[in-house]
Structure 1
Amino acid sequence: MTESDHDGWPDKYSDPRDRPHPEVLRITVESFDKAFEDTLTAVDAVADGEPQPAVVSFATVGELRKILTDRRIELLQTLMDTDGAAESISALAEALDRDYKTVHDDVTLLSDYGIVFIVEDDDRSKRPYLPYERIRLDVELTASDIGEEPAAA
């Protein structure tokens, strides 16, 4: 049996740069039930050999908007423009012409949501890593009950 790190990946994939990643990260707004259904469908598709995007789902449009601000989208675009990696959070902050602390906080938040990975090198510097060539936002607005924020169906 293969030893695993805390993410459940085999040790050889403990560095996210060594893990297989799809070309597309799909960010959606959908209910838990819909996200679960989509996950089961994707598992079947992968079993049949069909490539699938990575998916991060939010429960509401408001939650998505709270996390994917214009500044964080700019950060993601900058990472994609540099082949998905920055030398360090400091270098990323410099490229964005922003304060280190706010960039660090943004990278940490995006990492907490599974959108960006943080890689710690031997020298202990933290490197933001975005392995996707494209990010696709799927937000479908539908009629909702009074008082509820629209979400994807």
Structure 2
Amino acid sequence: MTEPNHDGWPDKYSDPRDRPHPDVLRITVESFDDTFEDTLTAVNAIADGDPQPAVVSFATVGELRTILTNRRIELLQTLMDTEGAAKSISALAKALNRDYKPVHDDVTRLADYGIVFIVEDDERSKRPYLPYERIRLDVELTANNPGEEPATA
């Protein structure tokens, strides 16, 4: 049996391009309790053989908006249009008609949240990788209960 590496995946999956990924990335705004319930439901569905999307959850709409700015959404769309990967961050910056540094910062920020991956082709070459065919934003706005934080922070 292959031992898991630092991120919990067996060593054979150390490159995210080798990992199995669903077609859809679902980005949500949910409370911890809702996220926990969704996780339990997904685990049961996977055990039954039902495919499930990857999920990234944010606690508030404000947090989601801080991460998914218009420029970062444009970056994600560009990656999706190039079949999930740019040859390099420099090539992605050129495709976006933006400077390298802000694109690098955006890719790094999205990778910190598990929305994209940064893969290394050799010691000096890093590139963004987006394994999903679709990204679905799932934001539900509801009335606040007394004592709850508002959804639009």
Tell me the secondary structure at the aligned position of residue 109 of structure 1: helix
Q: Does the 8 Å CA contact 2:85/2:129 hold for their aligned counterparts?
A: yes
- Equivalence for 1:84: 84
In structure 1, stretches of 5+ residues that fail to align are: none
In structure 2, stretches of 5+ residues that fail to align are: none
Deviation at 1:133? 0.1
Instruction: Map 1:3-14 to 2 at 5 A.
Output: 3-14=3-14
- Equivalence for 2:104: 104
Deviation at 1:9? 0.7
Tell me the secondary structure at the aligned position of residue 95 of structure 2: helix
- Equivalence for 1:150: 151
CA deviations on 1:22-45 (whole Å, 9 max, x unpaired) are: 000000000011001100110000
Deviation at 1:148? 2.4
Tell me the secondary structure at the aligned position of residue 5 of structure 2: coil
Q: Provide the alpha-carbon RMSD of the alignment.
A: 1.3
Match for 1:67: what amino acid? I
Match for 1:5: what amino acid? N
Q: Does the 8 Å CA contact 1:62/1:149 hold for their aligned counterparts?
A: no
| C-alpha distance in 2 between matches for 1:121 and 1:49 | 33
1:116 aligns with 2:96: no
Instruction: Map 1:36-115 to 2 at 5 A.
Output: 36-115=36-115
Identity rate, percent: 83
Q: Does the 8 Å CA contact 2:2/2:12 hold for their aligned counterparts?
A: no
CA deviations on 1:109-136 (whole Å, 9 max, x unpaired) are: 0000000000011242111000000000
Match for 1:129: what amino acid? Y
> Structure 1 length as normaliser, TM-score?
0.95
Moved over 3 A (4+): none
| Count of aligned pairs | 151
| C-alpha distance in 2 between matches for 1:47 and 1:40 | 11
